[in-house]
Structure 1
Amino acid sequence: MDRVSAPRGSDPHELLPWAFALLAGSGLLMFTVAWSGGTLGCGLSGNGWDAPPFALSTATRLVSDGPGALWPAPAAAVYAGMTGLLALLVLPAALVVRLVLDRAARPKGLAGRRELAALCRTGIEARARELRPGLKDRDRLHPDETGNLLGDLEPKGPELRSSYEDVELDLMAPRSGKSTGIAVPRVLRAQGAVLLTSNKSDVYTVTRGEREKAGTVWTFDPQGIAHTPRAMWWDLLGECHTIEGARRMAGHFVASVNDDSAKKDFWIAAAQNTLTALFLAAARGRAPLTELLGWLADPADRTPVDLLRDVGLLAMAEQLQGTVRGAVETRDGIFETARQTVSCLLDPEVLAWVVPDPDRPEFRPDRHVLGHDTLYLLSKDGGGSAAGVIAGLADATMRAGVVAAESMGGRLDPPLTAVLDEAANVCRISDLPDLYSHFGSRGINVVTLLQSYRQGARVWGEVGMDALWSAATVKLLGSGLDDADFVQKISTLVGQHDVRTPSVTRGRDGTSRSYSYRQEAVLPPDRIRALPKGTALLLATGIRPALIRLRPWYKEPGAGAIAAAAKAETAAITERAARRLMPGVTLRKPAPGQEAAPA
């Protein structure tokens, strides 16, 4: 009876003839190389080109008596000829084998060098000359002038870059290389102005020294993340002179306490409307923020209503007055919700950063986007954070970039680089998904870093996160994505490929082999979740998914000097923290490899 079996292994009796053929072929090849190489060495050494017979007896004599019995030349010359000929054959063969192995090592079903030509050096350089008029007449361009470094295509490259027209969304778990492989390189390689948000000081310490060489460094650190002395101020009310500006500013404070902008209840919506009116009254009436906080503490105060009427904003004044004259329980609930959203401004240390200070320079977003300066926005996350202020300043800076781009013909050149690290925690811009759709066309290169898709959905809602995902032209998915539903969707997007499965049929008439094909996921969900640290799945618009290897800053040329500067900056932060937290205590200079300690 015939029997069909899966190909667990081949019958040894079937492989025996192939083994004999392989052994005979290898011996023949070795003898051919020795015979040809020996003749070549003899001829080149000036001892004639007479070759011994190409026969089995010659091979036997060579093994038993040595080359002197076959060629009238020194043994060294003969051996040199054999070795040289062997090298000429082996090197090309090794290159071919390497190419075959590299091709075999590339994940099946993912994009290769040919599909990614638009992201490689030639394609991205051509795109940069189209987007940046200042580069058209330049013969040679630095790679960083052409686009943002994404990483190297697995397994052997080439280097891949996104254009300055792309906007990027990166989803990676903590400690998967977001800072070292994305945030730090983007800041270090930026060609124009830079904006960075973060809830830690790691990117700040690594990049500050290099960015100081490019231009002025502005550090907005109201909660002492890097323990930086206040050396600037930003006029928060300066963004609230229009109804749109006041509403956006109120929205940033509301979003800082509202986990899902798509689910605003009555109190949240009413608090935003009230804050909009108060911001507008303070800005138009030239009242300080401290007075605005007093209005919130005393809902019966008619000052903001009168200020709105004085500047002709009658409808806004009537709306605010209606809220104030409403039922006491409703009014107090609205004002209490509004007070909670701006509670960070009750801290005088936070408030000092957003009110005029004649002794310190003012940060002007409209000037910042036209130069090569750097703005670090640092804030804690969780309760009591200054996330609303951070989101407001980040939004003001990017909107200033849009205005500047329109005045320059539609696009900033050089582009503004905005790295929104921990965007879901410290930079909750409620309409960020909508802004993404046109930032790239304005020369504003935005990179939003999140820990997971679900984290973004918690802030912007499912619809908003879907919009952000769709608007991002480049997406990087790193290691540690544990959302099973999301990872399954990504596996579906990556697609399937054909897998050939052999089967062996054995019977009385002999053995036959046949093949069948089945569909298999290119990257199953478990492989996407278990991506090695430092690698990422690249999803770019119009291109098949690809697997890339990130390029951490500490493995790049010049990393030694950057690391030394970062170490010095870390020591300075430690010293400032000690002075702030332990007044009067000096730090003992640490020994190599140790941390500073009180003397």
Structure 2
Amino acid sequence: MSGQRGGDLHDLLPWAIVAVAGTGLLMFTVAWSGGTIGAGFSGHGWDTPPFAMSTVSSLVSDGPVALWPTTPTTAVYAGIFGLLAIVAIPVILAVILILGRSNRPKGLANSRDLAAMCPKGIEARARELRPTLKGRGRLDPDETGNLLGELDPKGPELRSSYEDVELDLMAPRAGKSTGIAVPRVLRAQGAVLLTSNKSDVYAVTRAAREEVGTVWTFDPQGIAHSPRAMWWNMLAECHTTEGARRLAGHFVASVNDDTAKKDFWISAAQNTLTALFLAAARSNTSVQQLLGWLADPADRTPVDLLRDTGLVAMAEQLQGTVRGAVETRDGIFETARQTVSCLLDPDILAWVTPDPSLPEFRPDLHVLSSDTLYLLSKDGGGSAAGVIAGIADATMRAGVVAAERMGGRLDPPLTAVLDEAANVCRISDLPDLYSHFGSRGINVVTLLQSYRQGARVWGDVGMDALWSAATIKLLGAGLDDADFVQKISTLVGQYDVRTPSISRSKDGTSRSYSYRQESVLPPDKIRALPKGTALLLATGVKPALIRLRPWYKEPGSGAIAAAAKAETAAITARAAARLTGVSLGKQAPGRV
């Protein structure tokens, strides 16, 4: 070992001598040239001392004054240090650039790989997707695509196109709200739909969105303590068997942890709810009366109503359930009652009950506007998640219908931010609809805390389908699922590492190289991604590291922060008023 180190030092000695000599020559050249420049610019002549060893000796022993005796000392030193700065600055910048490139993980995408997502590429794509942009001159960046962030470490800005659909996995407090949800709502060009179980995004964005359109706040459980200023006709979506089954599925999914696994009682309850929703919608019966049918399985009214409207097969099926064994019938109806139990709360029921004194929310009109729909609900027992999923699904399906009428794609697109989708917006067939939404100009971004959280709702197969359908995937800080992180590391890939090998013999020294492969991002590096950064997996390009752009670091954030502070204070005041029993009254949509 010691012999090998001695040999290495012996090999390096000539290079060390060259480095020392070169550094000394460079320093002398800078002093010689800089002193001359200082003397010349100060008016004491451009006479240069000889470029010789005698000059070096005088410079070392007596200093620069000995070489330019008639020139003030300050002028000589000013010239030397000025030239030194001119030489040093490019060197320092080059070193910083080299170190920056060496610190960037090898094997990740650069700006050339992501050209389609950079400003020029994404603008060209936007002009293809949005007919209203054709023929226009300079476009606002927000008109061209959805801001994702900036390529780490120095940019450029990256955006997804209006046909991309997105899936983001990040731990709590990793930047989902500040870096994704809020910017996406603030920058949206068309209608907006946001689901959440907190009031933070609502508080930050409401005032800004109110300036571009009507703000509809659906807050049946008082997340933002917003007074009821709208209502949604839940049964309007149930005039067809498909619509009734979808609404029934949303209520079932809200209490079923894995929609891919439905036992007998869950499936039977969904069938029963489908029949009851159809009967109520076709006969203009209220939701409250529908709850009465559920409470009394022997009530034949829904069976008769289905027959009267021509739905004989559905009526026979419901009658078969009602006439079945008492234990089976009661089990099915009890399961159905549990799925819609949130409607027993009069505060929640009021939001889906017609109210002539308030405006009705119409999904078909919303998707063609620049309005904003906030869907707020608690998670856990008693939540209004089934209702939230129903209105969200109705709005996105209305977007599909509108897109078909417009030639295939919404312009401007509909922005749907499904924050806490696994808790408050369990649309059971969301994985199947994902790619279809993208082709219709409906930009959906689903925010989850982990891959496992999604698998708990949609099952392993459903979550795999959602993962595959998402054309943009952002993986942020705090992903602690070891198996998932290992899979991501495998997807990111490996790169070749060149290792030198030195061999010595009596004939001399030879150098050879061998190659081995290392992970571009090992699992521990993915888990330890800093807050505010994310791993970008986009279809058709190499993975990349990006830096999110939180709303509070953007231009104009001061006004948004002030509005958010005022809105938060208003939410606190409304909460206090509720506790003291003071009514704030009904107000128009968007007015809180």
TM interval, shorter chain, is: over 0.9
1:168 corresponds to: 166
Q: How does 1:178-217 map to 2 (within 5 A)?
A: 178-217=176-215
AA of the residue aligned to 2:130 = R
Q: CA deviation at 1:360?
A: 0.7
2:219 aligned partner: 221
Is the 1:3–1:505 contact (alpha carbons within 8 Å) kept by the matching residues of 2?
no
Distance in 1, Cα, partners of 2:508 & 2:581:
91
Out of 257, 260, 267, the residue aligned to residue 255 of structure 2 is 257
How far did residue 62 of structure 1 move? 3.2
321-330 or 351-360, larger mean C-alpha shift: 321-330
Out of 140, 144, 150, the position equivalent to 2:148 is: 150
Structure-2 residue corresponding to 1:38: 35
1:547 lines up with 2:545 in the alignment: yes
For residues 130-187 of structure 1, give each alpha carbon's deviation from its aligned partner in whole angstroms, at most 9, with x where no partner exists: 1112222222122111111111111222211111111000011111111111111111
User: Percent same amino acid among aligned pairs?
Assistant: 82
Query: Bigger CA drift: 291-300 or 47-56?
Result: 47-56
1:162-561 equivalences in 2 (<5 Å): 162-505=160-503, 513-561=511-559
Deviations 1:77-129 (A, max 9, x none): 54444344334333332332232222112111111111111111111111111
Q: 1:190 to 1:585 in 2, by over 3 A?
A: closer
Mapped to 1, the partners of 2:40 and 2:525 lie a distance apart of 59
Q: CA deviation at 1:214?
A: 1.4
How far off its partner does 1:71 sit?
4.8
CA distance, structure 2, for counterparts of residue 101 and residue 362 of structure 1:
59
Evaluate the alpha carbon distance shift between residue 585 and residue 475 of structure 1 in structure 2; reply closer, same or farther with a 3 A threshold. Answer: closer
Supply the AA of the counterpart residue of 2:176. K
* Aligned partner of residue 141 in structure 1, secondary structure: coil
- Number of residue pairs aligned between Structure 1 and Structure 2: 583
Deviations 1:184-217 (A, max 9, x none): 1111111111100011111111111111111111
Contact 2:169 2:447 in 1 (8 A): yes
The 1-side partners of 2:424 and 2:582 are apart by 33
TM-score, with structure 2 as normaliser = 0.94
Q: What letter matches 1:431 in structure 2?
A: D
| Distance (whole Å) between structure 2 residues aligned to residue 527 and residue 35 of structure 1 | 50
The 3 A distance-change label for structure 1 pair 15 and 478 is same
* Corresponding position of 1:94: 92
Match of 2:25 in 1: 28
Distance of 1:4 and 1:458 partners within structure 2:
61
1:53 aligned partner: 50
Matched residues in 1 for 2:409 and 2:55: separation? 77
Q: Please, which runs of 5 or more residues in structure 2 have no aligned partner? A: 585-592
1:419 maps to a residue whose letter is V
Distance 1:4 1:460 in 2: 64
Please report how far the alpha carbon of residue 30 of structure 1 lies from its aligned counterpart in structure 2 after TM superposition: 1.3
CA RMSD of aligned residues (A): 2.3
Alpha-carbon separation, structure 2, partners of 1:529 and 1:274: 45
2:587 matched residue in structure 1: none
- Give the 3 Å change call, closer, same or farther, for CA 448–10 of structure 1 in structure 2: farther
TM-score by length of 1: 0.93
User: Using the alignment, how far apart are the partners of 1:545 and 1:21 within structure 2?
Assistant: 42
Measured at CA, do residues 20 and 171 of structure 1 come closer, stay the same or move farther in structure 2, by a change above 3 Å? same
Are 1:579 and 2:570 an aligned pair? no
Give the whole-Å Cα distance in 1 for the aligned partners of 2:530 and 2:270.
44
Please give the alpha-carbon distance, in whole angstroms, between the structure 2 residues aligned to 1:581 and 1:444: 40
Q: Deviations over 1:234-289 (max 9, x none)?
A: 00001111111111111111111111111111111111111111101100011111
Instruction: Tell whether the 8 Å contact from 2:492 to 2:520 is kept in structure 1 after alignment.
Output: yes
CA contact (8 A) 1:102 1:156 kept: no
| CA-CA distance at 1:344 after TM superposition | 0.6
Task: Trace 1:584-599 onto structure 2 (pairs within 5 A).
Answer: none
The secondary structure found in structure 1 opposite 2:136 is coil
Q: Is the 8 A contact 1:188 1:207 kept in 2?
A: yes
In structure 2, distance between residues paired with 1:404 and 1:88: 62
Q: 2: distance between equivalents of 1:12 and 1:126? A: 57
**8 Å Cα contact 2:44-2:71 kept in structure 1:** no
Contact 2:489 2:526 in 1 (8 A): yes
